[in-house]
Chain A
């Protein structure tokens, strides 16, 4: 069974630009969650999508947005990039069907904002 895939793996952008990251979950999984990981703040929850609907949202500004497609693939968009957005962005895949569900992470996208 293929794991979670994320593209691109590495990205360098300039302040003020926007970026779109993509995540393909494990086959059959309907939930995709996005996390930001930085050395200073650790792993922070951005949002979660289940069956094309945002089910949960973390405490990030509106510049961070996402969506999920009917095939469960998800994209995350960050507009008007700031230097502080440099981070490892991780998506996690889950069945999403029960509170006990386990989340499996993709390899991440390393975003550098200059």
Chain B
């Protein structure tokens, strides 16, 4: 079983819609959870971090964490063409190394 799994893409959404990305992790003691955005040919960019159960909002992005279900998600509201990218879920179990999911590619249709 992979440490971090993301829902398979690609995900295509119309402009202005909500894009919903999901991620599950295997290590129950994981404490830190991150979402990175990676444009084609670029390096990953940190967009959200979440450490406690519940929702965390930052602009059009909302991260949701449920440790009991070992599940973390990212919602992108009012999706824009500039949101078209690969979104990587990352988890720190109990040490200092990030484990990444394979990523979900999002395409926002104008």
> Please, how many angstroms separate the alpha-carbon atoms of A4 and B29 in the complex?
30
Q: Which residues of B contact A44 (CB under 8 A)?
A: 100
Residue of A nearest to B48 (CB): A102
Chain B: number of interface residues, binned into ranges? 20 to 34
A103: interface (CB < 8 Å)? yes
For the complex, would chain A's binding face be called helix, strand, loop or mixed by DSSP majority?
strand
A43: interface (CB < 8 Å)? yes
Q: A103-B46, A106-B43 are in contact. List 19 more A-B contacts (CB 8 A).
A: A42-B101, A42-B102, A42-B103, A43-B44, A45-B99, A50-B96, A56-B96, A56-B97, A58-B97, A92-B98, A99-B32, A99-B96, A100-B32, A100-B49, A102-B46, A104-B46, A105-B44, A105-B46, A107-B43
A-B pairs with beta carbons under 8 Å apart, 8 shown: A35-B98, A42-B103, A58-B97, A100-B32, A100-B49, A102-B34, A105-B44, A105-B45
